[in-house]
Structure 1
Amino acid sequence: MMILSLFPADLKQFLSEVESSGARLCLVGGGSRDFLREGTLSNDLDFEVRGVEISALKSFFKKRGLTYTELPYDIVRLDFKGFDLEFSSPRLENPLTGNKTHHHFEVVLDKELSYDRAFARRDFTLNAIGIEFHFTKDEARVVDPYNGVRDLEEKTLREISDYFFLDSVRFLRLVRFQVKYNFNISDSIKNQMGLFDLSELSIHHFKSEMKKSKNAGAFINEFSKLVRDYQLPVKDVYKIWKNIHFSSDLETIEDLLVSVFLKRPEAAKEVAAFFSLPDKTLKDLTSFYNSYHAVLKLKKEDLIPLCQSEMDAPEVMVVLRDLKNLEDKKEWRKYFPSHLIISWDDWADECVDAELIQVTPAPLRSYLRFYQTMKRVIQ
């Protein structure tokens, strides 16, 4: 199978040694999905391990002096030459009655659990595809108990069972896969969408899935649309998105913040609070915006007399402080056109003579660059 040729020799050798310890490895989740979809080998590889307990793998790693991280449900993660490898035991997840959180189940680990029973806990059929390896024989085969390959080819998001609707984070994954990959939602999910209860949905998971979508604006738009269309229960904190529609090309939290700030400055505080942004973030954006518009209003006839004044004249310093502020908070420039009478393009390569710096009072030295630029551009 072609995927075997994508493994670097040292990684293949390492996994062969893991296999020789008695482990049978099956690649699951995004690693198998992305190979079947794109023909590539991910740097993030998750293996279900049959044949041995995870404790045996820990001992194997320790003997080889490998450092690993232990995660809940007896999952082990380690870095191997740039590959993020995760090893877990097949498991059953038994729902806990009345629990609406992401951890709404109790786990039963079983190193010999069949693929169909182990994969039944997964979200979409296209995420319930495995690739079973026999590295020592240089063999691999696709394991597909729920016809996930078909749905992957048809770009359809289909649930494996009603268990899908018990986890509010899976609602977020539904949104992410639709936005990131332009997958379609199956009629079976649409018909049961109302089963989702988002009343305990954490902001942590919301932000995580939004970032993975690579398109924050489209993610929030689709989240809000589905919540509205299916009248799903949500925490009050999510209701801030009810009356906000974002451009579909907004990728980051900062993109979202600026978009809201420019339309409804008062709502930007709610956005900043939702994402737990430092107070300084919105203050800096506001400060940059104010300086930008102050410079935007300047006309050449207003600046000519300033160029003939001393640098420390009050009316000159007002302009210089705004110019310096545009430099100090340069991270916000990308959101604003540089069509200013004096802009950051003008002072980008401005050099100030060392002797001039020495004879200028210390409090004024940081403004020399901008004063010099103003005089050059205006005169």
Structure 2
Amino acid sequence: MPRVGNGGSKQPTMWDVASLAGVSQASVSLVLNDAGRGRVSDATRQRILDAVRELDYRTNAFAKSLRSGESGLIGFVSDEVASAPFAGRLLKGAQELAWETGHVILSVDSFGDNALEAAAIDMMRSYRVRGVVYGSMYHRVVHLPAALEDIPAVVLNAREADGKVPSFFPDEELGGHTATQCLLGAGHTRIAMINIQTPESDLPAGIGRMAGYRRALDEAGVAFDERLVRYGGGVVEDGLALTRELMEGPVVPTAIFCGNDRTAWGAYRALEALGLRIPDDCSIVGFDDQETLAPYLDPGLTTVALPFEQMARSALDALLGTRSDEVSDHPIECSLVPRGSVASAKVHE
């Protein structure tokens, strides 16, 4: 029979695949629906997949969803993840694993509009999505929308307040601990911290990073000194002003842990204005590993990376049912990215 493919006059069918592979249509159906393990030999499975590629065969996803009651779509509802380059790696990680498992991400940013969020969830339900990832641009505590309570869902880059569904978020305390340990390991003991929020703030990032800083000092036998702590808003201007304040204060630090990379950028500018060199006169560690900033400071900024892609893959694993644990909170480790902004403390410190 004539081959049907990219250059043919009609779309290839499952019968065409079966004919080319020399197998039954039932065998093709088992393989394409990933149900043939143990029922179709590896050699037969490979012949079918080769025929699928040669014919450029595509399954009818709409018909499949009608038969099964489930599509190959996964919903991704967030505030501003898809439109924010920094947090966009969350969506990238989810898309990669979705594609590897034969799924497609259907993504909507609500920009904080509750009506838009509700409409997006309703639309996803009408498409029979397999489940929904409920994501956040920054780490915070969220309440799961009522419309998601009766379908599979996970929370990403945030913690669900009531533990109704699995939540995947950065381990902020471990990250703060890692950043401070880096400086302690280089021999520093006068380590300042510029946090990214006030002590009254309930956001997990600043709370966790400060807790990690204090725990690392305590484990090293270094007394916590309130004079070495400042509270900003996570912007460059705060890093600039508060670093100058620290360097002109009664206890001059030899190293500064900045609560995010933008604060660290401000610290670089302040030290340069004071005629001080990084890392010779003061070492700096940041947090976030912003790819458009941290590598391009001079010297490159040693920082702690937010595990965007790993969080997203873990969340999708849970949504697709490949994780069997029943724990609701899943903090994901933040790893150190060493560059040139940390040096050994001087002997006379």
TM-score with structure 1 setting the length:
0.29
Bigger radius of gyration, 1 or 2?
Answer: 1
Higher helix share: 1
Greater length-normalized contact order (CA 8 Å, ≥ 6 residues apart):
2
